[in-house]
Amino acid sequence: MFRPKPVVFTAHSTAEQVAAALGPAHAKGRVALITGANNGLGLESARVLAKEGATVVLACRSLANAQKACEGITAQYADAQVRPLVLDLASLASVREAAATFLSWGLPLHILLLNAGIMAVPLSLTQDGFESQFGVDHLGHFLLTALLFDALKAAQPPARVVSLSSRLHEVTAPHNGIQFDDLVYAKTHYNPWGAYGHAKLANILHMVELQKRFDAAGASQVKCVSVHPGVIESTGLTRHGPPAGQMLSYWRKLPGLIFTVKTKTLQAGASCQVYCALSPDVVGGEYYSDCAPELTGRRHRLWNDPEQAKKLWDVSEKLVGLQQQ
């Protein structure tokens, strides 16, 4: 059967260009749930997917934020199918309620975009007592994905799970990987950037193990990937941490950093997660950057270590109150 060569995108391709090049058949009729969809990369991804004909659920910390974002999209596209959903990733109770609400709607789930996150914040704890970056960026998303696992497995066409990570994990996450013996920094010094890299490594390992779980469940057509979006000054992420200028300065001074930091527009930053949500060429379990697998070696040495990934899964299950499978 003839299959056209995949379209090649660049670091400057926008999410809208990517979706248009792939064609409406990959988005139209799909249902997408996007966390942190009221601003930044999440909102841009929601706008593009809704424009292409997907039904988009905008999961945000407050109903007001979610509704405002939905109204902004429908003001641009009168036929857009968007729905608000309250989701506070810093509260496991809120995650459970959000998952239950979505499932009660009886919708399929074709795209789960784990986009929300916080970055380089001072040491603080979630409502359930977890270090906030690990708790929000990883554990909240871990629980949400677990509660929606069956819906993702049942979706036709096959589902995608896309987790927003960061290349910063390569140089700020601990050399030995996830700090299982001190996840709340009770015994070790807390560095906001190190904790961010730690959480972003967890995002990647989560997708590696999740892909194995779908494969083992006979659902290998479900694809789970992580994404580095690039450095975008206007994502809204820096409202929780240092200003964008300080962030760029920090990145450029990191020892061992093997790439030149260049900024992207918000529209280009959202392109990779939209690509991974829609492209038929996506490879499950991979880590993507600039709409392609990251093959330059700019990854933590344990990014796909099977022992780390499985242990993180098992520990995360215990922390969020899920029974072992």
Catalytically active residues, by annotation: 196
Quote the distance between the C-alpha of residue 7 and its chain's center: 23
67's tokens: 């509704």
What sign does the dihedral 24-30-31-32 (CA atoms) show?
A: negative
- Which residues pair with residue 56 across a beta bridge? 32, 82
DSSP 61: S
What sign does the dihedral 203-113-67-140 (CA atoms) show?
A: negative
Quote the distance between the C-alpha of residue 202 and its chain's center: 11
Which residue, 75, 89, 81, 72, is CA-closest to 36?
Answer: 89
Quote the Cα angle for 268-86-100, to 5°.
Answer: 115
54-203-8-44 Cα dihedral, nearest 10 degrees:
40
Strand ranges (DSSP E) for the chain?
Answer: 31-35, 55-60, 81-86, 111-114, 160-164, 223-228, 231-232, 263-264, 287-289, 292-293
Give the integer Cα–Cα distance in Å for 296 and 54. 33
Give the integer Cα–Cα distance in Å for 232 and 268. 9
Q: How far is CA 45 from CA 17, 273, 277, in A?
A: 12, 8, 10
Q: Does a cis peptide bond (omega within 30 degrees of 0) precede residue 157?
A: yes
213's tokens: 């779980």
